[in-house]
Structure 1
Amino acid sequence: MLGGMTSRDPNHPRNSQATQLARFAGLIADETRAACLLALLDGRAWTASELARHAGVAASTLSEHLGKLVAGGLLAEERQGRHRYVRLADARVAQVVEELSAQVAPEVVARPRSLRESSAGSAMARGRTCYDHLAGRLGIAVTDAMTTLLLLSQDAGFALTDAGLAWFDAVGIGLDRRSRRPLVRACLDWTERRPHLAGVAGAALCRHALEVGWCVRIGSERAVKVTAEGERALAQLLGIEAGALT
């Protein structure tokens, strides 16, 4: 023993689970790579140059980081002509990134340095996408309303009730029952510190809201804004007052 540390026995078999966990932790334990993962929570594919500008690093530096994330299975890569696009590998990666953010964000969020930064932060807190579902006060308002109307049960984890399944059918939002993803799950919201609706149902609702114009994306971040049409639809379908979305 030296300095209170013991060396690992080279003949001792490695714990494969521990090895994988250490590799995963190493991949995200870098500010540039963490910035890329957070940006990609918008569910879209970004070019390497877009991510380089977002992270504030040179394209050559970013390319090295992306290579590690792709090799580690956290990102998927697509190429179209001379452009290289990357996106989060799947919903499981998004869940881990978002939930880790929810655990540490309130303790490390810095004071906004400008009015623009403050406005962007307010917009993200008001409503945003969390990979492929709604988050922020918008996501919480939808989750609370569905629970109040007995469309969603939170008694033992999240579960759609029979009335909830019928509601999706009535609104015209199809649910992929064959997906390996859970139909619904709770995702801890990093700004509200409460769970919002995720899973197949959360993704389908978010996709529908964007497709029919209930919500629109704003800015270059994940922020979304509820439109006037969306306010009317959410009030009619879920009883959500416009004031709850601002």
Structure 2
Amino acid sequence: MKDGPDIARIAALIGDPARANMLTALMSGKALTATELAAEAGVTLQTASAHLAKLEDGGLLQMRRQGRHKYASLASDQVAETLEALMGLAAGTGHLRTRTGPRDQALREARVCYNHLAGDMGILLYDRLLAQGWLRDDPEFPVVTDAGARHLTALGLDIPSLQSSRRPICRACLDWSERRSHLAGGLGQALLDLMLARGWARRLPDSRVIQFSPSGKTAFHRAFPAMG
């Protein structure tokens, strides 16, 4: 028997089509009921419950009860980042869903990746933070520079609190649609929360799509300008 992490078990859990659909639905960052996830997966409630039990036992989901319902959510940022990376691998090797259309394009432009901004707007945000010298590049954990801390504080973010958290303040997350990095971690979540709170963008109901208003895009470009 070989020692080390059992990637086959994790791959088997994710690889089932119904479970994969459930996990993808939870990439919205919202906790969902078994009934909602059954609809996402196209299976009965009884089958969905069995799948959820396996995913929870495998450490990919966490379940919590509120009132009469039990809600499922992804177990951690690491699970979300793994799923996003797998989406990128699937897209890069030609394994795409056949249905395309306006919603597909909207997902590519801006979407929530668990709790942070992804898609073209997420990549643009990350690129501009780097270009302005507000982040120092790193393949996995970018660093907020002193100039970046001053700028982000002026925008209204509590950088010392983010830096003191046990959670990484910055993490580079590979975007599935463009296969380039966008910003995850505490700062990635805080920036998306700021954009939503200020009305620059909104989340479309029952979707991962983030829709920026024209004035919101103007505010975005003002807060995170291009160089030159």
Normalising by structure 2, we get a TM-score of 0.91
Task: Please say if residues 213 and 229 of structure 1, whose CA atoms lie closer than 8 Å, have aligned partners that are also in contact.
Answer: no
Percentage of identical aligned residues = 41
C-alpha distance after superposition, 1:24-61 (max 9, x if no partner):
12211201111111111111101111111111111111
Does the alignment pair 1:224 with 2:207?
no
- For 2:49, the equivalent position in structure 1 comes to 63
C-alpha distance after superposition, 1:1-43 (max 9, x if no partner):
xxxxxxxxxxxx552x24x322212211201111111111111
- For 2:153, the equivalent position in structure 1 comes to 169
Work out the CA distance in 1 between the residues paired with 2:171 and 2:40: 30
Structure 2, unaligned runs of 5 or more: none
Work out the CA distance in 1 between the residues paired with 2:130 and 2:163: 21
For these two proteins, the number of residue pairs brought into alignment is: 222
CA drift of 1:101 comes to: 1.3
What amino acid is the match of 1:28? I
Task: Please say if residues 102 and 193 of structure 1, whose CA atoms lie closer than 8 Å, have aligned partners that are also in contact.
Answer: yes
CA drift of 1:92 comes to: 1.0
* Structure 1 segment 1-246 matched on structure 2, within 5 A: 13-15=1-3, 17-18=4-5, 20-106=6-92, 107-112=94-99, 117-154=100-137, 158-175=142-159, 176-239=162-225
Work out the CA distance in 2 between the residues paired with 1:21 and 1:119: 36
Work out the CA distance in 2 between the residues paired with 1:182 and 1:80: 29
Query: Which stretch shifts more, 175-184 or 31-40?
Result: 175-184
What amino acid is the match of 1:144? D
What amino acid is the match of 2:112? T
CA drift of 1:156 comes to: 5.8
Cα RMSD, aligned residues only: 1.7
What amino acid is the match of 1:220? D
What amino acid is the match of 1:128? R
From the superposition, tell whether residues 156 and 47 of structure 1 become closer, same or farther in structure 2 (CA, over 3 Å).
Answer: closer
CA drift of 1:70 comes to: 0.9
Task: Please say if residues 111 and 119 of structure 2, whose CA atoms lie closer than 8 Å, have aligned partners that are also in contact.
Answer: yes
Normalising by structure 1, we get a TM-score of 0.84
Work out the CA distance in 1 between the residues paired with 2:166 and 2:134: 22
